[in-house]
Amino acid sequence: MDCTCGSCYWPKSSTSQTLQPLVQIAASVPATALFPVLLLFLARLGGGLQIGSVALMMLGTMWYILFNVIAGAQAIPSELFEAASIYKLSLVLRWQTVILPGIFPYLITGMITAVGGAWNASIVSEYVQFQNQTLITPGLGSLISQATETGNYPLLFASTAVMSLLVVLTNRLIWRKLYQFARSKYQLL
C-alpha cells in the first residue's frame, strides 16, 4: 500500500511498515552492548578477537548506511517510479535508472558516517578485558586503548594524531571526491 500523506515518495508495503519500527529498535541498541555476547559466542566457536573486532565494526556501522539508504529511497520522487512503470522498465533497468542514482548520494553519506563509527569501534574492540584476561588484536585502536589504560600520554597523543591524520586524509582524498561525484552525477532534483 502506498503512503497517501504526500510527504512519502517510496511505495510502502505492510512488511516495511512492520519491519521499520523493529529495525529502529534494533539500531537503538549500541553495538558495544552486544560485544560481550558476541565474544562469548566466538570463543565457543574458536574465533578470536580479530573476527570479533570486525563483527563489532560491522554492527557499529551498518545502521548508518541502512538508514541513509532508506532516506535516499524515500526521497526519490514518486513520479520517477510512475514513469518507470509506464515505460514498463524491467527491475534491472529500474535499479539502474531510478533507484541507484536516487540512493547513491545517501549511500556515500552513510559510508562516510559509518567509517567514523568503525574508527570508534576499533578503539573499543581491539583491546578488551574479558573473562579476567586482556585480549588484544594489533591495530591503532588497541594502541590508543593501551596508552589510555597505562597513562602513556605521549603515545596516546601520537596515536590519536595518527588516527586524526588518517581521517582527514581519507576525507580529503577519497570521500570528498566521491561525494562530489555522487552529487554532480546522480542528483535527482
* Region of poorest pLDDT, from 6-10, 62-66, 76-80, 97-101: 6-10
Whole-angstrom distance, CA of residue 81 vs CA of residue 106: 18
Look at residue 130 and give its three-state secondary structure.
Answer: strand
> Taking each helix axis from N to C terminus, what angle separates 140-150 and 100-125, rounded to the nearest 10 degrees?
40
* Amino acid (1-letter code) at residue 98: V
C-alpha cell read off for 25: 529498535
Q: Provide Rg for the chain, Cα atoms.
A: 21
The pLDDT tens digits of the residues spanning 142-189 come to 899 999 999 999 999 999 999 999 989 998 999 889 888 888 887 665
Q: What is the pLDDT of residues 70-97, one digit of tens each?
A: 889 888 898 998 999 999 999 999 998 8
